């Protein structure tokens, strides 16, 4: 009995499952690799645990390799594993591989179809998603509310609201009733295309039919109405919520306050807190961030800072957005050192700057002509995997405008400094930048520098434009 390995092997899959539940995925993978495959009683869920562990570690390709081994050994993977891989492939935008894997699945179910349809929609393949929906209708697995709602939600996110409404009518016609999530997708979709009035009619129609809606449906619509500056309608709906038994919570008030301030209504920010407390509501960090943001917009940075300190002293947990709001406020006032201190203290306090924080810092450096710091920061962003947003990218392109401005004023040294350090920060001068530098040298009689620069342009494959060529010809003719 002692030498019989079967008892150990019989509990081994369960052991790996426990280790996996503890999120010790590396241990699972290492144990599996040390196993003698031929000695283990074939059990599919053992491989399933290992494959999932590879994927949780972000090593999806190794998960696929293990899946290949399983298929070669004659095991039949379960639908759950195939479904898991479909999700991961869609997350990585590998749509064609997901489609290929889907066609390999013999025993499909509602979940598999649902994941496939949702993934296609999220990646913009709506025609293919609709084709798959029609194919599913021909099987024993009929589309359910979750699948229809997934398509409706994705259509609304892409502002294809008319198609979403058509699909909702089709779904209702088949006896599948919409729920509060479907309603919210449509209300939000209508508001996002500036049709908050239509969204309002849609919600009122539901109310007249006696259809059950929730606070989120009303809150979403209030936000949309305020964005479209239909303030009176929003205020009226806000009051109607109470009459209809929809409990207005802190989230509802936050949406109302945030949007009413964004459209420029002049309200003393600190008075808003009293308004919430009078209603018996406890302002959360989102509320306080809205107040701080408004104070910063009004240029009242000291008040904003004091407000945040009071929140902290009261035991309220600050978040990344709190710090980012203050950083943005300081930079807009040109208070770079204060912003830098806030950025450093943020990391020291255990708060991780996100994409928005990094982009705000980069934009602030560029706006205050801290070019060297901007380039270093953007370089760090790239290294750490943060995303440079459109506004930051457009400001980076403005380096060329800055160089041109320096040259127009005859401040050649500053232009050279900016040009020389562009590439160090990961910004590549283009044809336009090179030509502007060449023209600036010629205009300021830096002939030797102009010749060297033009030579570098030719060597590096940059195109000398007509204006630069004309200036060079004029220069040569004068000699």
pLDDT digits (tens, 9 = 90+) for 119-155: 999 988 999 999 999 999 999 989 999 999 999 999 9
Give CA torsion, residues 390, 396, 400, 401, to 10 deg. 70
Could you tell me the pLDDT band of residue 281, with boundaries at 50, 70 and 90?
Answer: confident
CA distances (Å), origin 16, targets 32, 43, 64, 83, 191: 8, 12, 19, 21, 49
Q: How far is residue 7's CA from residue 153's CA, in Å, rounded to a whole number?
A: 51
Q: How far is residue 17's CA from residue 193's CA, in Å, rounded to a whole number?
A: 48
**What confidence score (pLDDT) does residue 386 get?**
81
Q: How far is residue 10's CA from residue 6's CA, in Å, rounded to a whole number?
A: 6
More confident residue, 397 or 245: 245
Residue 193 has pLDDT above 90, yes or no: yes
Could you tell me the pLDDT band of residue 300, with boundaries at 50, 70 and 90?
Answer: very high
**What confidence score (pLDDT) does residue 44 get?**
62
**What confidence score (pLDDT) does residue 182 get?**
96
pLDDT tens digits, 332-359: 998 999 999 999 988 888 888 999 999 9
Determine which of 19-23, 27-31, 171-175, 421-425 has the lowest per-residue pLDDT on average: 421-425
Residue 145 CA neighbour count, 13 Å, CB half: 10
The residue count for the chain: 479
Residue 455 has pLDDT above 50, yes or no: yes
Q: How far is CA 26 from the centre of its chain?
A: 29
Could you tell me the pLDDT band of residue 433, with boundaries at 50, 70 and 90?
Answer: confident
User: How much is the average pLDDT of 314-336?
Assistant: 92
Is the four-CA dihedral 236, 242, 246, 248 of positive or negative sign? positive
Residue 108 has pLDDT above 90, yes or no: no
Q: E strands along 65-211, which residues? A: none
**What confidence score (pLDDT) does residue 26 get?**
82
Alpha carbon distance, N-terminus to C-terminus of the chain: 103
Could you tell me the pLDDT band of residue 34, with boundaries at 50, 70 and 90?
Answer: low
Residue 8 has pLDDT above 60, yes or no: no
Could you tell me the pLDDT band of residue 458, with boundaries at 50, 70 and 90?
Answer: confident
The interaxial angle of helices 145-157 and 161-173, nearest 10 deg, is 170
Could you tell me the pLDDT band of residue 425, with boundaries at 50, 70 and 90?
Answer: low
Question: What residue has token string 């003719």?
Answer: 477
More confident residue, 392 or 324: 324
Tell me how many helices (H) and strands (E) the chain has: 28, 0
Determine which of 6-10, 163-167, 257-261, 423-427 has the lowest per-residue pLDDT on average: 6-10
Residue 216 has pLDDT above 90, yes or no: yes
**What confidence score (pLDDT) does residue 303 get?**
92
Residue 384 tokens read as 């750490």
**What confidence score (pLDDT) does residue 159 get?**
93
Residue 3 has pLDDT above 50, yes or no: no
Question: What percent of the chain has a predicted confidence (pLDDT) above 70?
Answer: 90
Phi, psi of 408 (to 5 degrees): -60, -35
**What confidence score (pLDDT) does residue 404 get?**
76
Residue 394 has pLDDT above 50, yes or no: yes
Residue 7 CA neighbour count, 13 Å, CB half: 4
Question: What percent of the chain has a predicted confidence (pLDDT) above 90?
Answer: 37
With a CB cutoff of 8 Å and minimum separation 6, the contacts of 280 are none
CA distances (Å), origin 149, targets 86, 167, 210, 453: 19, 9, 21, 60
**What confidence score (pLDDT) does residue 42 get?**
47
With a CB cutoff of 8 Å and minimum separation 6, the contacts of 258 are 223, 290
Residue 4 has pLDDT above 70, yes or no: no
**What confidence score (pLDDT) does residue 2 get?**
41
Could you tell me the pLDDT band of residue 88, with boundaries at 50, 70 and 90?
Answer: confident
Q: E strands along 387-468, which residues? A: none
Could you tell me the pLDDT band of residue 6, with boundaries at 50, 70 and 90?
Answer: very low
Helix (H, G, I), strand (E, B) or coil at 386: coil
Phi, psi of 161 (to 5 degrees): -70, -35
User: How much is the average pLDDT of 251-277?
Assistant: 82
Count of C-beta atoms within a 10 Å radius of residue 160 = 17
């Amino acid at each position: 009995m002692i030498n019989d390995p079967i008892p150990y092997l019989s509990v081994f899959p369960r052991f790996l499952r426990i280790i996996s539940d503890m999120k010790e995925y590396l241990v699972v993978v290492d144990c599996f690799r040390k196993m003698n495959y031929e000695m283990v009683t074939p059990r599919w869920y053992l491989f399933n645990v290992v494959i999932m562990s590879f994927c949780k570690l972000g090593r999806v390709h190794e998960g696929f390799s293990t899946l290949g081994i399983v298929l070669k050994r004659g095991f039949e993977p379960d639908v759950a594993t195939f479904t898991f891989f479909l999700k991961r492939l869609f997350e990585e935008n590998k749509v064609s591989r997901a489609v290929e894997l889907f066609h390999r699945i013999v025993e499909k179910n509602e979940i598999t179809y649902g994941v496939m349809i949702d993934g296609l929609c999220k990646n913009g393949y709506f025609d293919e998603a609709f084709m798959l929906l029609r194919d599913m209708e021909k099987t024993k697995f009929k589309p359910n509310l979750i699948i229809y709602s997934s398509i409706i939600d994705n259509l609304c996110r892409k502002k294809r609201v008319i198609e979403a409404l058509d699909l909702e009518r089709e779904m209702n016609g088949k006896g599948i009733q919409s729920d509060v999530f479907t309603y919210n997708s449509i209300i939000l979709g209508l508001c996002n295309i500036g049709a908050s009035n239509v969204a309002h009619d849609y919600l009122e129609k539901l109310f007249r039919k006696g259809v059950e809606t929730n606070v989120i449906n009303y809150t979403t619509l209030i936000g949309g109405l305020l964005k479209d500056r239909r303030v009176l309608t929003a205020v009226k709906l806000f009051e109607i919520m109470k009459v209809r038994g929809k409990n207005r919570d802190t989230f509802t008030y936050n949406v109302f306050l945030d949007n009413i301030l964004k459209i420029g209504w002049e309200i003393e920010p600190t008075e808003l807190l009293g308004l919430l407390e009078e209603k018996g509501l406890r302002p959360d960090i989102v509320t306080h961030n809205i107040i701080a943001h408004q104070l910063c917009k009004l240029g009242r940075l000291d008040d904003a800072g004091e407000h945040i300190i009071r929140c902290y002293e009261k035991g309220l947990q600050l978040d990344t957005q709190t710090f980012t709001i203050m950083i943005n406020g300081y930079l807009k006032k040109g208070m770079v050192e204060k912003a830098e201190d806030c950025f450093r203290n943020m990391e020291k306090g255990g708060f991780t700057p996100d994409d928005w924080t990094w982009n705000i810092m980069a934009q602030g450096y560029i706006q205050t002509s801290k070019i060297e710091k901007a380039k270093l920061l953007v370089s760090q962003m790239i290294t750490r995997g943060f995303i440079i947003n459109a506004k930051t990218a457009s400001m980076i392109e403005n380096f060329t405008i800055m160089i041109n401005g320096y040259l127009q004023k005859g401040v050649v040294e500053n232009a050279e400094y900016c040009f020389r350090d562009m590439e160090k920060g990961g910004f590549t001068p283009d044809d336009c930048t090179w030509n502007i530098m060449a023209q600036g040298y010629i205009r300021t009689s830096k002939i030797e520098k102009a010749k060297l620069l033009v030579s570098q342009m030719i060597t590096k494959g940059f195109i000398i434009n007509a204006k630069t060529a004309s200036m060079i010809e004029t220069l040569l003719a004068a000699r």
